[in-house]
Structure 1
Amino acid sequence: MTPAARLSAAIEILDRIRDGSAAEPALSGWARASRFAGSGDRAAIRDLVFTALRCRRSHAALGGADSGRGLILGGLREAGTEIDALFTGERHAPAPLSEAERAHLAAPIELDRLVALDCPDWLAPQLEASLGADFAPVMEALRQRAPVFLRVNTARATVAEVQERLAAEGIATRPVALSKTALEVTGNARKIQNGACYREGLVELQDAASQALVEALPLAPGQKVLDYCAGGGGKSLAMAARAALTLYAHDAAPRRMRDLGPRAGRAGAEIVQLATAEVPGRAPYDLVLLDVPCSGSGSWRRAPEAKWALTPERLEELTRIQSDILEKTAPCVAGGGTLAYATCSLLAVENGARIAAFRAAHPEWHLVEERRFTPLDGGDGFYLALLTRG
């Protein structure tokens, strides 16, 4: 596909998303209907789509419309790309610029601060209060593509050994300061899931801050541990690599854990999956990890749709869910054990405020440690609070 044809495809996909489709199904549906597109084309189109979603507010303003065409025009304008040469209407290229579009693109424009940062107006006060002086740098970081990180399964090999093997597969990596098990992929990321290191369970795709969060958990051999909101099981696998644990995984939507069994098998880990009704029966646990449902504001680089889909009502609902999970699971922690509360949120209302409310209702619980990560640390945004009772 020509660069111009890729732009046309991205415009079509963005319009599907604007009409209500989620990004991944929209991309997959286009790819199934466009067998002529090679892997390089699909990757390039995906990048165009996700860049537009991360920068939707600013690119709509720069391009003159919150449409697929407007977003792509805005992105090209921001990049300083010559637009007329691409919008020719020839060989599957987008239609030529209209006079109105040409006039808009030619006119000087000064973006409002929140528009330039691609920040929803209603969330700005909360984000500024939560992030302080880091607000603008973090929001700018969330406009950029996220790095690709691998977690090395140190139960099977050292980081240096895995890095050497990845290099032999043509995958370039470098260690990162944020996590001692993390490697940032700097070349040929698309080779990872077909490579021997991945197939043999030596690496998993996992954000570096997520790995750092697991490293902060007080784990020791022989402990009984519950990953209560396990999702795909990334943190369960990371905990299994750290120590010989009796490890349980649970999720309110068990389908999210459907790949955990095969992934654990590759990694040589034993993780027992529990239904909701089974959780109390296996208590008490030495550590319960609650990676609770949240706004996902710390991972908007990876899931940019969530930034624009979040509403005040949904945020309020999430805080109720978070408090409810704390209440339900606290009795499952053994005396002297740890309740670990985590989010991938940057918002204090989902983080420290939830812990403060829980402790106000349950003064027997003490805050041992708090950790906060933002994209300025290199990975996604995360929050971790470690509590113990007595």
Structure 2
Amino acid sequence: MTPAARLQAAIEILDEVLAGKPAEQTLTNWARANRFAGSKDRAAIRDHVFDCLRCKRSFAHLGGRTDGRGLVLGLVRDAGTDPATLFTGQGYAPPPLTAADMPNTDPMPRGVALDCPDWLLPELETSLGPATDDLLRIMRHRAPVFLRVNLLRGTVAQAMERLAQEGIETRPTPLAATALQVVTNARRVRQSRAFTEGLVELQDAASQAVIAALPDLDGAHVLDYCAGGGGKALAMAAEGANVTAHDADPARMRDIPERAKRAGVKITVQTQPMGLFDLVVTDVPCSGSGAWRRAPHGKWALTPERMTHLTSLQSAILRQAWQHVRPGGRLVYATCSLLDAENTAITTPFAAETTAATLGAAQHLTPLDGGDGFFSAIIHKAS
């Protein structure tokens, strides 16, 4: 496919996404219907789509319109390219420019330039203070790809060497001792022997840092209460914990047995958690604001009403999970959110109002630290 044809494909996909269809599903459906597109074509189109979703407001301003064509025009103009050289109508290129394709010449308002919904700016400023604008600028760009080295399968140095043999360059990151940032050929990771043989797993460095901050995992009985795909469960099992995974939607856990087998660990999957545990980890559903570089649609789907629902759900999960912490045990409350409303505003009242609960150390990570935004707090239960 030509560069112009890739842009036209991105326009068509974006129009479906803007109409309410999930981005990943739409990209998959497009690829199945257009099997002539090679892997490089699919990768480039995917990048175009997600770049446009991250920068939806500013690209629409540059494109002069809010549909897929407008966003892609903004993408091209933001890169310093004259869109007339690509929007030619020749072959599979987008149709030529018209009067409706001219950029908005007004100065960009702050929320537009930062690609943030206006109602969220005060919420973010309350939580992030002077770092707000710098963080939002970072969120306009693609997130790094990180791996977790499974120390049961080899050392960090061995993982780096194995990956390098397959053309995948990595480097350590200070966020966690097990974390590697992929420098080149991130899309080859899943096909690499290091991955298929369980030496490395895809996991953000901030998520690894949350687990690395937990003491005494070796031999501990742990409940991962919101396990999802099992990334944290695998990391804790690799540290010697006896891990039970649970999720309100059991379908999210369907890959855990195979991932555990590949990693050389055992994880018990329970649809209904039973008993008491030394440690309960609750990575609760949240706005995902710390991971908007990876899932930018969440930024535009979030509303004040959705936020109210989420904070209510987070409080409910915290109360439910607390029932599974043994006397003298600990609970970890975690989110991939940058917003205080989902973090300290949940844990502080809970600890103050709950018998036998004492709020311990908290960890605040943002994309300025290198990985996703993450919050975690330890709550101790009296013996």
Instruction: Bin the TM-score by the shorter chain.
Output: over 0.9
Q: Equivalent of 2:120, from 111, 123, 131? A: 123
1:99 corresponds to: 99
Residue 322 of structure 2, aligned match among 317, 326, 330: 330
Cα deviations by residue, 1:319-365 (Å, 9 ceiling, x for unpaired): 11110011111121112111100000001000000011212321531
**CA–CA separation in structure 2 for the residues paired with 1:155 and 1:19:** 46
Q: Is the 8 A contact 2:64 2:100 kept in 1?
A: no
Unaligned runs of 5+ in 2: none
Partner of residue 301 from structure 1, selected from 287, 293, 304: 293
Stretches of 4+ aligned residues off by more than 3 angstroms: none
Distance, in Å, in 1 between the alignment partners of 2:72 and 2:25 is: 20
Amino acid at match of 2:78: E
Tell me whether 1:225 sits opposite 2:217 in the alignment: no
SS of structure 2 residue aligned to 1:339: strand
One-letter amino acid matched to 1:210:
S
Query: Aligned residue for 2:138?
Result: 141
Q: Secondary structure at the match of 2:122?
A: helix
Which of 200, 205, 210 is matched with 1:203 structurally? 200
Three-state SS of the structure 2 residue aligned to 1:137 is: helix
| Offset from partner CA, 1:146-178 (integer Å, 9 cap, x none) | 001110001221101110111011111111111
SS of aligned partner of 1:287: strand
Query: Which of 246, 251, 254 is 1:250 aligned to?
Result: 246
Which residue is equivalent to 1:285?
Answer: 277
Residue 179 of structure 1: which of 168, 176, 197 is its match? 176
In the alignment, which residue of structure 2 is the partner of 1:43?
43
In the alignment, what sits opposite 2:70?
A: 70
Contact 2:65 2:100 survives alignment (8 Å): no
Aligned equivalents of 1:262, 1:137: Cα separation in 2 = 40
Q: Is the 8 A contact 1:366 1:387 kept in 2?
A: yes
What residue number does 2:378 align with?
A: 386
Aligned CA-pair RMSD: 1.0
CA distance in 2, matches of 1:340, 1:219: 14
- Provide TM-score, normalisation by structure 2: 0.98
Asked if 1 retains the 8 angstrom alpha-carbon contact of 2:217 and 2:236, the reply is: no
Report Cα offsets for 1:179-220 as digits up to 9, x if no partner. Answer: 110111111111111111111100000001000011012233
1:16 CA drift (Å): 0.6
Paired letter, 2:56: R
The residue aligned with 1:189 is 186
Please give the alpha-carbon distance, in whole angstroms, between the structure 2 residues aligned to 1:142 and 1:219: 34
1:120 and 1:135 map into 2 onto residues whose CA distance is 13
- For 2:158 and 2:80, the matched residues in 1 are separated by 43
Deviation at 1:381, TM superposition (A): 0.4
The residue number in structure 2 matching 1:18 is: 18
1:263 aligns with 2:273: no
* 2:270 alignment counterpart: 274
CA deviations 1:109-152 (Å, max 9, x no partner) are: 42111110001111111111000111001111111000011100
- The residue number in structure 1 matching 2:158 is 161
Aligned partners of 1:51 and 1:144 also within 8 Å? yes
Aligned partner (choices 231, 235, 249) of residue 232 of structure 2: 235
Give distance in 2, aligned partners of 1:23 and 1:140.
22
Query: Aligned-pair distance for 1:6?
Result: 0.3
Partner of 2:107: 110
What is the alpha-carbon distance in structure 1 between the residues aligned to residue 175 and residue 36 of structure 2? 41
Pair 1:369-2:369 in alignment: no
| 1:229–1:290 CA contact under 8 A, matched in 2 | yes
For the 8 Å contact 2:160–2:170, the answer to whether it is kept is: yes
Aligned to 1:121, what secondary structure does the other structure show? coil
Secondary structure of the corresponding residue to residue 345 of structure 1: coil
Q: Distance in 2 between matches of 1:120 and 1:96?
A: 31
> Is the contact between residue 57 and residue 112 of structure 2 (CA under 8 Å) also seen in structure 1?
yes
Aligned partners of 1:62 and 1:109 also within 8 Å = no
What amino acid sits opposite 1:125 in the alignment? Answer: P
Partner of 1:3: 3
What is the aligned partner in structure 2 of residue 52 from structure 1?
52
Determine whether 1:84 maps to 2:84: yes
Q: CA deviation at 1:99?
A: 2.3
Query: What is the rounded CA distance, in whole Å, between the counterparts of 2:355 and 2:328 in structure 1?
Result: 15
Give the match's secondary structure for 1:164. Answer: helix
Q: Secondary structure at the match of 1:48?
A: helix
- What letter is aligned with 1:84? A
Task: Give the TM-score of the pair, scaled to structure 1.
Answer: 0.96
- Which amino acid counterpart does residue 315 of structure 1 have in structure 2? M
Measure, in 1, the Cα distance between the counterparts of 2:41 and 2:72. Answer: 16
- Tell me which residue corresponds to 2:336: 344
Unaligned runs of 5+ in 1: none
Q: Would you say 1:312 and 2:308 are equivalent positions? A: no
Identity %: 57
Contact 1:209–1:373, Cα closer than 8 Å, also in 2: yes
Shift of 1:100: 3.3
